Every structure is written in structure tokens, then in C-alpha cells.
Structure 1
Amino acid sequence: MIARTRSRRFVSVDRGIVSSVTPAELLAFEARHPKHTSAKTHAILHQLGITEVRYYTLLHRAAQSAEGIKTDPVTARMVRERAERQAAARAGRTAA
């Protein structure tokens, strides 16, 4: 379950653990860890307290939010463009 609170924080309940993270925190984490590595996966779980799948879901929402774009426009754009490239690659595979 994901809820958006008034303080512009994403609240996530995953495996009975409640964690709260702002779009700015997500984008700052992504800026520090732009490549997908096992160390990043470990850091997502232990530093942010959420699963990798939840992280990417919230990251994409943060990159599309006005607050995320205002806070870190470069990283938000990088995340959006990467998602668009991946969607285009998926579409190309299904069309073939």
C-alpha cells in the first residue's frame, strides 16, 4: 500500500514495515547510485527500508511529480528518459 501524505512524502508499507521517503530523497539517492548494481540493491533495502520494486515505483512517481522536477530536474529527467527508452525497447520486442 502506498499513500501520499500532506508533507509530500511517499509512505510505503512493505512486509509489515512502514517507511516514508520524499521525492527529493529518492532522487538524491538515485543521483548517488545511477547504475543498477548489487550494492545499490542492498542500499535500497538497508538505507531506505523498502524493496527494490517499491523503490523504482516511487522513483518514477517522484521523477514525474512537480516537487521532484523542481528539486532535482537533471536526475528527474534522466529517470524519465530511461523509463521511456525501456518502454520503447519493450514495445519493440513485442512488435517483432
Structure 2
Amino acid sequence: MSARSFDDDATSTAGGRNHLCASCEQFLNDALINHPAWPRELAAQPPRLARWLDYARLLASPIAAVDDEAGLVRELRLFQRRMLVRIGWA
């Protein structure tokens, strides 16, 4: 059995790509509406390739005030969403 490639996926068709782009656009739109400060952050600090090297530093402040598991999960999800928006923005 051969390994599948991205081109084998349904997203490689024109309609699949359009659906993928529309989904990404909707995700970005929803995230930026819910977090109006993020566009200013993105403009001030555009996405860059080695951004992952800063994750520990970027997470230190938000999780410092967390005192329970639910708060930690909330902060990690928010951080994940912020990083996904940065990827989609780039």
C-alpha cells in the first residue's frame, strides 16, 4: 500500500480547495471578531517562521495566574487559537 499524499486528498480538487479556503477564512473571521486586539498584534508583530521558539515565553504570563485545570485548559486553547490565526494570517 502506498503512502497518501496531499494531492490524493479531496482538498486537492478545485472544489475541495475552495471549501478549505472558505473554512480557513471563516475561522479567521470568527477569531478576529471575538478577539479584536489580535489584528493589531498581527500588524505589530507579523508571523515569522521561527515563532514556535517563543512559545514558552508567550505562555508564561497567561498561565502564571492560572490556579486550576479548567483555567489552564482555557488559556492553552486561547493560545492555540491565537497561533492558528497567526498561521492563517501568514
TM-score, with length taken from structure 2: 0.34
Structure that is richer in helix per residue = 2
The structure with the larger Rg is 2
| Larger RCO of the pair (alpha carbons < 8 Å, separation 6+) | 2
TM-score, with length taken from structure 1: 0.32
